[in-house]
Copies of this chain bind each other. A is one copy, B any other.
Amino acid sequence: MKKWKLVNTKLLCRSDHVSVFDDTVILPSGKTVTFTKIELKDFVSVLPIVEDKVVLIKILRYPRNCLSLEIPSGHIEDGESPKETAFRELEEETGYRAEQLESIGSFNPLSRSTQEAHLFIAKNLKKGAQRLEVTEQIEMKLTPIKDLPKLLTSGIIKHPPTLIALQRFLFMNETGENFSV
């Protein structure tokens, strides 16, 4: 299968977290089309396990402007590896410090972007200090692992990294299989 050929790119707008471009591309058929591309920062999401519970957070998500039940997430800053971000964000958002992180793969949240999301499981946690950003209102919710199937089928969780990480965690618990990175 042939790739698309980029012949021109035009910046439409840029803000702190989002840049949008109109790319002019030649399709394998020879036809020229314009495709809108979105640049977003890569991020990590971390599923923290404390004994027989997972640590979820309730966070207000704008523009939906409602509470979302999620695992901790955060953008990868310049010079950080995904794992370094995961250690940092876990402690900032939950106050838990992890001794080890296990990667459980990655995905691309948006087809119109090259953004990557990296998923981790955090075990052997120690209580540290929560340090929230000005826009973050976060409430922690420890949920027993045995309640996860019911929580997943309830439809309450709408956040893809959380859905994927929780489903992978249950799958690993059942089968003993690991996820390729």
Binary contact track A109-124/B, C-beta < 8 Å → 1, others 0: 1111110000000000
Quick one: copies of this chain in the complex?
2
In the bound assembly, the distance between CA atoms of A181 and B159 in angstroms comes to 15
Contact B164 A149 (CB under 8 A): no
Q: A155-B106, A155-B179, A164-B167 are in contact. Are A38 and B18 (CB under 8 A)?
A: yes
Among B16, B31, B35, B109, which residue has its beta carbon within 8 angstroms of that of A160? B109
Q: Which residue of B lies closest to A22 (CB)?
A: B15
A178, CB-defined interface residue at 8 Å: yes
A contact residues, range: 35 or more
Which residues from chain B contact A29 at a C-beta distance below 8 Å?
Answer: 134
User: A150–B27 Cα gap in the complex (Å)?
Assistant: 33
A20-B18, A158-B107, A163-B164 as given contacts; A60 in contact with B112, CB under 8 Å = no
A17–B3 CB distance below 8 A: no
